[in-house]
Amino acid sequence: MKHRPSPAASGTPLRRARTLALLLASLLLAAPPASAQDFDLTGEWASRTHEDLLHRTMPGPDLGDYTGLPLNDAGRQKADSWDPMLHSQIERQAQPHPAVYSSRGPSPTLFVSEIRSEAGALQGYRIAGYYGRADRTIWMDGRPHPSERYGEHTWAGFSTGRWENGRLVVTTTHIKMGVVQRNGSATSPYARMTEIYSRHDSLLTLFSWVDDPIYLEEPMVRTQSWMLRRTAAESEGPPPLQAFEPVEEVSDRPEGWVAHYPLGTEPRRFADLAGLPFEATRGGKASLYPEYAKVIEQLRRDARRAGRR
């Protein structure tokens, strides 16, 4: 009696190879990803301030320069009343930047470290190095955001993150009211910021936008980048915190004085220096698009006919 080979043994080598390939493919598709973390965010990142250089370094943007900002009427009114002497007040001399601006501050070097549970699971990232040390925590463990009504608002806000298509997507709420440009342009406590971090070798790129129903007509979009200076193993971490002693910088002001410009002030100096119609410096969503160049030309023609700049 002849022995009959099994079906598997009777297949040709090519057929067996195809079967094995299909099995491996099905296993790979069914298996969870090897790691929930798509790139290493940790380390010491040096800022590159070539984007909007003059706005991000000293002395910063001019008063009344709202170009590139989708401010609404309320946002313009608030910015017009802002006086840089505000930072001479004792209460504000050590005031940090809010999360909506802290990544844009003058040359922020970021120190990113992991937060892990006792079992070794990734819980979040801690980011230090922002101006005024308004260090941020990005929670990665799925925890919810605090109550919109009762949750505490801080300069850093409350941030949660998730990995999406090889990028880190971060949502931040509960941010204190503060500037988005160092000339008084601001967002309200109702602002919500979304950030997308991506890494290409030693380059870290951030694409972000801020939604604010109080001061913005549409989302404010920005990008910025950092270069890896040291890995987490090489980094010595952020500099130690130092005590800050406020001093009386303006002695001839009464107690409770708050620096401000009166309601109705029109900061025209920037428009005059730049040779622009005043209306073209006021921001707003329409001014963000290339078609606005035609509006500027029309404003100039109208001004010439009216006998002014």
Which of 219, 206, 218, 217 is closest to 170 using CA atoms?
206
Do residues 289 and 270 make contact, with C-beta atoms less than 8 angstroms apart?
Answer: no
pTM assigned to the model: 0.83
Highest mean pLDDT among 24-38, 92-106, 269-283: 269-283
pLDDT tens per residue across span 282-301: 999 999 999 999 999 999 99
Q: CA separation (Å) from 209 to 82, 117, 224, 282? A: 23, 31, 12, 20
Greater model confidence, 109 or 41: 41
pLDDT at residue 33 greater than cutoff 80: no
Q: What's the pLDDT band for 18 if we cut at 50, 70, 90? A: low
Dist. CA 283–CA 270, nearest whole Å? 13
Query: Could you tell me the residue ranges of all domains in the chain?
Result: 43-230, 269-306
Distance CA 224, CA 207 (A): 7
| Superfamily in which the 43-230 domain is placed by CATH | Calycin beta-barrel core domain (2.40.128.20)
Q: Are strands 158-164 and 136-139 parallel, antiparallel or unpaired?
A: parallel
SS3 content of the chain, % helix, strand, coil (to 5): 25, 25, 50
Give the DSSP letter string of 201-239: TTEEEEEEEEE-TTTBSS-EEEEEEEEEEE-TTT---SP
Which of 87 and 184 is assigned the larger pLDDT?
184
